[in-house]
Structure 1
Amino acid sequence: MDCSFHQNQVFHAVESNNSELLLELIQAGHSVNSEGNDLIRPLHEACFRGHGECVRVLLDHGAEVNVRNIDGATPLCDAASSGHVDIVRLLLERGAYVNPPLLLTSPLHEATLRDKWETVEVLAAAGANLNSSDCHFGTPLHVAACQGSIKCSESLLRAGACVNAIKSLNTPLHEAARRQDVSLILLLLACGADVTARNNNGLRPDELVLSSTHPAKRVLIQWQNHPRDLKHYCRLVLRRQIGAKRLLFIPELPVPKSLQEYLDFRFC
């Protein structure tokens, strides 16, 4: 029988979320790693659609967990993009690379781009590179700032993402200023964003806010003209001393909860 027919049967079982049929097909000799259009495999499809039982069946029967499609994306990229947290955890347990090599983007970028903040936290806890740069936006924090995603920005910053990372000398604060997003601007400033940083056009964040009366402009100018209090600088120094790799464990520190929340940007 034509192998493309077998291939289509496997993909159909995955697309319809029929794990029992999928198992029958596999036991009948159908490949779990058959290639569809653009080198998409059944595991890519199951992860993107959030069909967790199909993902488990495929993995249990030899699906390649780090296989790439024509764009270089792995199944973890697809699961992260769709925000399927349980599938992300399962893939990581089965050996998925949280930082796939030679990739133009990353699972963390994909999750951030779709504003899947819970997935961002899972990937960060699994050791995702918080400051890797993709070919378009920059770091995941740049992505979050471009998207105006407060939740993803908070998750990335608490995990230790560099608040002053640059992409074409643009910092996340430049991106937030371009959006005139006051809430995001205040979050980045509280986390140590450099209000005087200049991009490759020589512009500070406040100079990207064209209206002189916009609240975003007033906030940025105020932060330039008024030094922060000691509490602000103490928090930044303490977090730096704790170290990026240990910031996720702040809630476990043997200190009062109020101090944990202070260090973890739970209040500013």
Structure 2
Amino acid sequence: MNMSAGHNETPRDTTCQTGTVVFSSNPLMSDVESDWSPIHDAAFNGRVLALQRLITQGKCVNLNTLDQVSPLHGACVQGHEACAKLLIDNGADVNRLTVDGKSPLAEACARGHVTCVVLLLQHGATPVGTSHSSSPLHRAAAKGHPECIAPLIQHGADVDQYIEQLGSPLHVACANRQPGAARKLLQLGAGVNHSVSGDSPLHIAACLSDPELVSLLLDHGADRSLRNPEGRRPLDLAPPSSPAERLLRQAGEVPPLMQMCRLNIRRAVGKRRLGGIHDLHLPTELKQYLLYH
């Protein structure tokens, strides 16, 4: 979705929230630009007063471009929270999808606009998608925005949501070399040994020769003995003499006792109740250890 001055789109009828057909066309613009309306422009560029004036004049807040881009999409792509709130307060559809399945929430997550993420979730945005383009959690993981991940989980997204060919958000974070996002997912209970096409996150990190990810995954209980469909362990995929290979070789077959206790306690608590560790009558240091803080 390209939302800039030239939008490579052609004119099309769009439907307002009232069901009225609206034709967005400007004879002074070329055909490829003619359905990018003034209300889109105001939202995209963060012009709150201009947006308020257009809404007061009766402009439709759910006006779509050819690619089904709404003004709210534009505001969330740019992180203009005030414009997004104004649109929502005037009836903007928070779950409107573009032709390629992107919601305003998915766009905000892909760009790390956490204030827009929280605003959308508070107003009923769906935190779950069914593809890479539509899944807010996978997009936040892929682009490395850990600050957007926790609100999604709090509003019902599954930290282990599996999407065909992509796997879980943790797989996506590892494949895109995003250790910050991977760390947040693991803290929130992501399954470290789940596989996609037979490869675990540790297989992916080893293949990419990323020592930071390898160390992080091992610390969260990744099984270095798992084999993929070709019978290869993570160690077999790491480039020879690389830091990742050295880490995998140095890792003991049996983790330290403290690590085993932490992993077992977290497993017993369950990913949905990890936040409850804060409320346990335990020393602060122990709670922080259990939560990987």
Shared fold by TM > 0.5?
yes
Aligned residue number for residue 28 of structure 1: 57
3-state SS of 1:37 partner: coil
What does the per-residue CA deviation read over 1:198-217, in whole Å, with 9 as the maximum and x for residues that have no partner? 12222110011131x22321
Instruction: Flag the structure with higher helix content.
Output: 1
- Give the conservation status (yes or no) of the 8 Å contact 1:73–1:103: no
- Matching of residue 182 in structure 1 with residue 211 in structure 2: yes
Offset, 1:136: 4.1
Output the aligned Cα RMSD: 1.8
Question: C-alpha distance in 1, partners of 2:186/2:69?
Answer: 33
- Matching of residue 3 in structure 1 with residue 21 in structure 2: no
Aligned residue number for residue 273 of structure 2: 246
- Give the conservation status (yes or no) of the 8 Å contact 1:83–1:111: yes
Q: Runs of 5+ in structure 1 lacking a partner?
A: none
3-state SS of 1:14 partner: helix
Runs of 4+ in 1 over 6 A off after TM superposition: none
Question: C-alpha distance in 1, partners of 2:150/2:110?
Answer: 13
Aligned residue number for residue 221 of structure 1: 249
Offset, 1:70: 0.6
Aligned residue number for residue 260 of structure 1: 287
Question: C-alpha distance in 2, partners of 1:103/1:185?
Answer: 27
3-state SS of 1:4 partner: coil
Count of paired positions: 263
Offset, 1:218: 2.3
Q: Which amino acid aligns with 2:242?
A: H
- Worse-superposed segment, 149-158 or 248-257: 248-257
3-state SS of 2:166 partner: coil
Distance 1:181 1:2, change over 3 A: closer
Aligned residue number for residue 153 of structure 2: 124
Within a 5 Å distance, the mapping from 1:81-230 to structure 2 comes to: 81-100=110-129, 102-104=130-132, 105-211=134-240, 213-223=241-251, 226-230=253-257
Aligned residue number for residue 259 of structure 2: 232
Q: Which amino acid aligns with 1:3?
A: S
- Worse-superposed segment, 64-73 or 247-256: 247-256
Distance 1:41 1:34, change over 3 A: same
Question: C-alpha distance in 2, partners of 1:177/1:45?
Answer: 38
What does the per-residue CA deviation read over 1:28-52, in whole Å, with 9 as the maximum and x for residues that have no partner? 1211111113111111111011111
Of 59, 63, 69, the match for 2:98: 69
State the percentage of identical aligned residues: 37
Distance 1:257 1:187, change over 3 A: same
Offset, 1:7: 5.8
Offset, 1:2: 5.5
TM-score (norm 2): 0.84
Offset, 1:132: 1.3
